[in-house]
Amino acid sequence: MGLSEDVRSRDGIIASMQDVALKQYLFLRNLAPPVIERFGQGGRDALVEAFRQFGVWRGDNISVALSRVGKERDALALLSHWDSAEFVLAALRGKVVIEGNSGEASVSLPAAPGSDYFARHGDATLLRQFWPEVLKGMAQGYDGKVMLTGGEVTAGAWTLRASYSGPPSGRNAPAEGGAPDEILSDPERALKLVLQTSRNNGALYMFIAREVIRRYDAAGELLIREGVRGIGRERGHAIKERHLREGKPLNLKNLMLDWDGPLVSTWVMREGYLSEGTWHQDCRYCPYADVWAEFGPEGLALGYLYDVELHTALCQTYHPSAVVRWEALKTRGDHLCKFRFSIPELEPGRSAIHSANTELASRQGRRATDSGPFFIDWKY
């Protein structure tokens, strides 16, 4: 994936969709536990409110999208215009059909979204707290006449049910657009869903961070920083282990060409420079920053916290010598993110200079080291 993302084939699009869908649960698992461990029930209350606010935001986005094209907001429309990749990916595992009418509609999935990830990383207690609040918030944000509930989050099938108390429209399933996985036959629609799922991930982080810091101030910020570093370490370790298994050298070229995210379809980049030790590239569009900017200076400040902690932890987990810096950054108020990452010992020309240092030092009866400057006397 990364800068090598395949946006033309079905398999490539599925890979991008799976990655962004996974991020929601990776974020949740790393951000929430430090808060609960430190603040107990108070921390759980803060997270519950953050999950609900996240749901309200998602439901409002679906409502606005329907309003723009003059479509009614009812039970069937909510499920058939779902705003993330969850239904599509579930349909790759089993039959997923949206059933019902404008007043009552449902969709059954082979398992609750995120249950596989949490099964690999412990129990699903956190997920069982997450989904009820998100669904409650989605109904609130979507329309006051709608209720949205989900079944118990277990290893088995999971059913979402939507009900609408407004006047019936007479519309019945099948929902427009057909089965959820049919979107994969339309790359443009599928990649738009990848983008919206990415935006949702950025929003989830922001709502958690905002609520925890509002309640606990500096103590909350420290926990959010710890959680974001956990996200970075988990991602960096996974990429590193994959590259080691595949026999790839650990360098910036391999990291960015095989980054764990869609850097072609979703993060829009200008042409840049990439080598084993240098990555210089400008990002024109970031779905996370797009969401954070909706919430003004507070959202951007929380985004800056994420940018610093995430990229530093991820890159230095992958390669401990990585240097993370930007010449401009959207979360600092700039128009672009100008990535200027490096691994100094792998930068072009650095190895040649080091070799010259070593040779010159040996002539002078000294040992060249990487600690501190060593100046070559070119007149020697």
- Interval 98-149: pLDDT, tens: 999 999 999 999 999 999 999 998 778 999 999 999 999 999 999 999 999 9
Residue 93 lies in a domain: yes
pLDDT averaged over the chain?
A: 90
Greatest CA separation for the chain:
91
70 lies in which domain range? 10-202
124 near 111, Cβ under 8 Å?
no
Residue 10 tokens, joined: 């079905």
Model confidence at 182, pLDDT cuts 50, 70, 90, reads confident
Residue 306 lies in a domain: no
Q: Report the half-sphere exposure of 370 (CA within 13 A, side-chain side).
A: 8
Question: Considering its fold, how many domains does the chain have in total?
Answer: 1
291 near 299, Cβ under 8 Å?
yes
Residue 350 lies in a domain: no
Check which CATH number belongs to the domain holding 96 and give it.
3.30.1380.20
- Interval 217-250: pLDDT, tens: 999 999 999 999 999 999 999 999 999 999 999 9
326 near 283, Cβ under 8 Å?
no
Q: Is the per-residue pLDDT at 46 higher than 90?
A: yes
Phi then psi dihedrals of residue 339, to 5 deg? -75, 130
Model confidence at 178, pLDDT cuts 50, 70, 90, reads low
299 near 205, Cβ under 8 Å?
no
CA distance 340 to 312: 12
Tokens 């600690």 correspond to what residue? 371
Tokens 């509002």 correspond to what residue? 214
Residue 103 lies in a domain: yes
Q: Is the per-residue pLDDT at 364 higher than 60?
A: no
Q: Is the per-residue pLDDT at 355 higher than 70?
A: no
CA distance 87 to 110: 10
Residue 79 lies in a domain: yes
Q: Is the per-residue pLDDT at 50 higher than 90?
A: yes
Residue 278 lies in a domain: no
In the chain the beta strands, taken as DSSP E runs, fall at: 98-100, 104-109, 146-150, 158-164, 268-269, 273-274, 278-285, 326-328, 337-342
Residue 151 lies in a domain: yes
Structure-derived torsion over alpha carbons of residues 16, 19, 23, 26, reported in degrees to the nearest 10: -170
Helix (H, G, I), strand (E, B) or coil at 22: helix
pTM for the full model?
0.89
Residue 107 lies in a domain: yes
Kindly report which listed range (8-12, 84-88, 172-176, 282-286) carries the lowest average pLDDT score: 172-176
